[in-house]
Amino acid sequence: MFQHITVLLKESVDALDVKPDGVYVDCTLGGAGHSSLIAERLGPKGTLIGLDQDNRALEAAKLKLSQTSCNVILHKANFQHVKEVVTSLGYNQVDGVLFDLGVSSPQLDEGERGFSYHEDAPLDMRMDQDQELTAYEIVNQYPEEEISRILFQYGEEKFSRRIAHHIVQKRMIAPIDSTIELAEIIKGAIPAATRRKGPHPARRSFQGIRIAVNNELGVFEDALKQVVPLLRTGGRVAVISFHSLEDRICKHFFQEQAIGCICPKHFPVCVCNHQPSFTILTRKPIVPTDREIEANARARSAKLRVAEKI
């Protein structure tokens, strides 16, 4: 059973301003929570396109969306290929695009997927089970400097060098095979005083390795660029992020797309004729209510940003 508690459900779908006969793309289908509400607001002439690279998510979404009145198209793909997929289906432009980033609850809760530092499992962390690169290769084969960079850049882990060194020292004795083994190595590399406060000591490192395995930031940035020509005038893009790296990418991208004139400041008149592509609808991100966080602790870091195509 693929069960996932959808975060910022009403806020994100409200932000899309769903038109009954519109075309909407859920780039991160997951448990189809957002897609179900979008589908409810679409009429028989409306279309919902759902993308996911997890076979189980697609199967669960197909069942959940089977009774909807709108046209539903589910496609196995990384959202890095969103424009290619949408145009191949015969749609040159769409009315809305939704990204719900991060790892779904089933992926975290299923120990064998290797995302969790609480469950003993093989070092996997692949969102797409058909891809070759796993966390095992990164942990056991990457140079110490590269592991340190991944932990620091993607996990924002200040003890990245110490952790990378401990990992390399341990793997020289024997390969590091499991999530619990890796979590213990990370824990041992972090000073005791730091371990006693804050979240689990392996949280940041696991985040960094997971992002590297799935190239999450590069894929997201590439997908955002594809959304600009894909949206029709008045169409909206909504992004739910769960950590500062994703949110920063989204914030800066929206700001870049909202810029008009790019002439040097000393020019008396505009000669570039550069026009903005987006209007930012959320100057500050929308965050979950205390009530939602109380019901779902994983919602606590979520941020929603929305922009409209001009």
Q: How does pLDDT run across 137-158, given as a tens digit for each residue? A: 999 999 999 999 999 999 999 9
Q: How does pLDDT run across 283-302, given as a tens digit for each residue? A: 999 999 999 999 998 899 99
The residue among 181, 214, 247 that closes a domain is: 214
pLDDT (average), residues 172-193? 95
* DSSP β-ladder status, 94-100 and 278-280: unpaired
The residue among 160, 180, 214 that closes a domain is: 214
The residue among 186, 214, 242 that closes a domain is: 214
At 26 the pLDDT is 98
The answer on 295 and 262 residing in a single domain is yes
Structure tokens at 248: 């920063």
At 245 the pLDDT is 94
Query: Is residue 33 a part of any domain in this protein?
Result: yes
pLDDT (average), residues 78-83? 95
**Count of CB atoms situated within 10 Å of the CB of 44:** 10
Categorize the per-residue pLDDT at 304 as very low, low, confident or very high, splitting at 50, 70 and 90: very high
Categorize the per-residue pLDDT at 197 as very low, low, confident or very high, splitting at 50, 70 and 90: confident
Query: Is residue 205 a part of any domain in this protein?
Result: yes
Categorize the per-residue pLDDT at 104 as very low, low, confident or very high, splitting at 50, 70 and 90: low
The answer on 134 and 179 residing in a single domain is yes
Query: Is residue 162 a part of any domain in this protein?
Result: yes
At 1 the pLDDT is 47
Query: Is residue 2 a part of any domain in this protein?
Result: no
φ and ψ of 21, to 5 deg: -105, 15
The CATH number of whichever domain residue 61 belongs to comes to 3.40.50.150
CA distances from 253 to 25, 220, 227, 248, 302 (A): 19, 11, 11, 8, 18
Domains contained in the chain, number: 2
The answer on 133 and 281 residing in a single domain is no
The answer on 273 and 137 residing in a single domain is no
Query: Is residue 105 a part of any domain in this protein?
Result: no
Minimum mean pLDDT range among 63-67, 219-223, 296-300 = 296-300
At 4 the pLDDT is 65
Alpha-carbon gap, residue 226 to 220, rounded angstroms: 10
pLDDT (average), residues 269-296? 94
Alpha-carbon gap, residue 220 to 9, rounded angstroms: 20
Query: Is residue 56 a part of any domain in this protein?
Result: yes
The CATH number of whichever domain residue 201 belongs to comes to 1.10.150.170
The answer on 136 and 69 residing in a single domain is no
The answer on 237 and 175 residing in a single domain is no
The answer on 229 and 175 residing in a single domain is no
Q: Do 33 and 8 contact (CB within 8 A), yes or no?
A: no
Query: Is residue 285 a part of any domain in this protein?
Result: yes
The answer on 222 and 183 residing in a single domain is no
The answer on 196 and 229 residing in a single domain is no
Mutual angle of helices 203-214 and 144-155, in 10-degree steps: 100
The answer on 231 and 138 residing in a single domain is no
pLDDT (average), residues 186-210? 91
- For the chain, give the percent of residues with pLDDT over 90: 80
At 128 the pLDDT is 84
The answer on 235 and 88 residing in a single domain is yes
Provide the domain limits for residue 142.
Answer: 111-214
Query: Is residue 3 a part of any domain in this protein?
Result: no
The answer on 115 and 197 residing in a single domain is yes
Q: How does pLDDT run across 2-16, given as a tens digit for each residue? A: 556 899 999 999 999
Categorize the per-residue pLDDT at 265 as very low, low, confident or very high, splitting at 50, 70 and 90: confident
**Count of CB atoms situated within 10 Å of the CB of 129:** 12
